[in-house]
Structure 1
Amino acid sequence: MRHLTLIRPALQPIVPRTFARTLITTPPRLLATPSGHTGPQHITPGPPKSPNPLQTGTQDAISAQKYPDYSTGPSAIDKASQLLFLTEIVRGMWVVFEQFFRPPYTIMYPFEKGPLSARFRGEHALRRYPNGEERCIACKLCEAICPAQAITIESEAREDGSRRTTRYAQNQEFSTETREELLYNKEKLLLNGDRAEAEIAANLQSEHYYR
Structure 2
Amino acid sequence: MAEQGKGGFFSEMFAPVGGFGVTFATMFKKVYTEEYPEVKRPTRPRFHGRHQLNRHPDGLEKCVGCELCAWACPADAILVEGADNDDTPGGTGRFSPGERFGKVYQINYLRCIFCGLCIEACPTRALTMTNFYELADDNRADLIFTKEQLLAPLQGGMSAPPHAMAPGMQERDYYQGKVSGDGS
Q: TM-score range by the shorter chain?
A: 0.3 to 0.5
Point out the structure with max Rg over C-alpha.
1
Instruction: Name the one with the larger helix percent.
Output: 1
Specify which structure has the bigger relative contact order, considering alpha-carbon pairs within 8 angstroms and separated by 6 or more residues: 2
TM-score scaled by length of structure 2:
0.47
Instruction: Name the one with the larger strand percent.
Output: 2
TM-score scaled by length of structure 1:
0.41
